[in-house]
A and B are shown apart, each in its own frame.
Chain A
């Protein structure tokens, strides 16, 4: 009656002498994989200008309606971003966001990127809304040259290119 029960005991005993597989989270942080979709970041170009041109395509692509973009006209002397407009307000509600990555796919200038930060916790709903200041990377962390199409300033400016139609 009890013979087969011993096999179970044997298994558990064997595991007792093996190292645990636990990653002791706050002390040890398992590096995420390269493609991991974590918290968003708003990128910059190498010269420090914001990549976001306020086109709201991310907002349109978002299945969860988590992104709010309010564009504004660039100051031509000191443009915030190349091109005509920039995002005056850029907010992502992290409680709504489902981290599907469609905003990243939709962005014509690769401004919004889902990066590797995954520790998102809030005390209330207000703080779950990430504003532009929180999302924007520091000016020295920009990369890439401004594509020529965005620098053709003038009256006959093209509308923002749609890299990926969505």
Chain B
């Protein structure tokens, strides 16, 4: 009995700490993005609140908290109020299965690196729940987020918001397919749906190498899933004046904002887990054994836990950097072209990737060989796709613009 109470207590503490940490992460991601965008645009970015703008997120939060909470008269009240919650809760739920480190409180760091099938004594407090269908859960929860956006667009009773909502439902559903297919291939490589085990399977080689194509597809469709630039049609400011959340203000807007950024971190975390070896990095085991030798198993375990968390963080930040970088560089894709790309390029490529992975994994049972083969195949497929796409839409010729010298009429000699 006591055991369960303790476990529940630990779980609660974990949940509270996790949610707080993610909210802080979200807040500082906004700062990170703004500063980075500014630097890419030759600007400085927010640097007034606190040293180096460090308190800017707090200032924003305070501002949003104290804004008047306006509910437009003609909105569908119930749905209107529910929508922000529907957006932000799935974004938080995603984190339940993501291992963002490995701290075994049982006090044995080696459990982190052992085969989970033969070593069930792992109590990793850096992962809320290592459920058997972890990856499936991730896909399911990320898809639910679209309800918040669509319902917000519908309930706002505003034309811009509705267009945003319609775009959201179409875009998110189409890209869900490519995203899931990309993930499917990675899962086939790992042979498991458990997130911890996926990481274990990448101890020798990160899946980004055999699944290079899958990784690229995941990033593209992940960006679309996040409605981030260049696929941010749902809240296209220039067209729809920020789309689905046009009628939302104060904290309700902040919740949408929060859900978007938390999902952004989450998608990066999923990419890290599935393709970049999760929290693992070469040398972690060595660190564990060193610290255990010096100060005992518990310290070793904690050292590994913290180091692995750091590794995870670095990898996530790298992917977040990529998202911000893309936002700084590219214009937005048009809605119909986005659909075109999703259905005619990404989905076929993702399916091809799944087929390729299946064939190679079965035909070449040795992990190293089929990984290398898949890597080569990915490169070939990408090269072919590149050539075909440039045939479909050849680069503009220099003669697109002609330089002419129009006839200059003589001035009347006056």
Contact = CB atoms under 8 A, between A and B. Distances in A.
B40 interface: yes
B325 A9 contact: yes
Given A8-B330, A12-B329, A3 B40 contact: no
Interface string A37-80: 00000000000000000000000000000000000000000000
B124 to A, nearest CB: 36
Sorting the interface of chain B by its residue count into under 10, 10 to 19, 20 to 34 or 35 or more gives 20 to 34
Residue from B41, B47, B385 whose CB has the most chain A CB atoms within 10 Å: B41
A67 B295 CA distance: 83
Which applies to chain B's interface (DSSP): helix, strand, loop or mixed? helix
Nearest to B47: A24
Interface string A1-14: 11111001101110
Contacts of B328: 12
B364 to A, nearest CB: 29
B386 A15 contact: no
A164 interface: no
B390 A9 contact: no
Sorting the interface of chain A by its residue count into under 10, 10 to 19, 20 to 34 or 35 or more gives 10 to 19
Given A8-B329, A9-B329, A11-B329, A3 B390 contact: yes
Contacts of B49: none
Given A1-B390, A3-B390, A16 B39 contact: yes
Contacts of A1: 345, 385-386, 389-390, 393
Interface string B42-78: 1110010000000000000000000000000000000
Given A15-B40, A15-B41, A20-B44, A5 B386 contact: no
Interface of A: 1-5, 8-9, 11-13, 15-16, 18, 20-22, 24
Interface of B: 36, 38-44, 47, 325-326, 328-330, 345, 385-386, 389-390, 393, 395
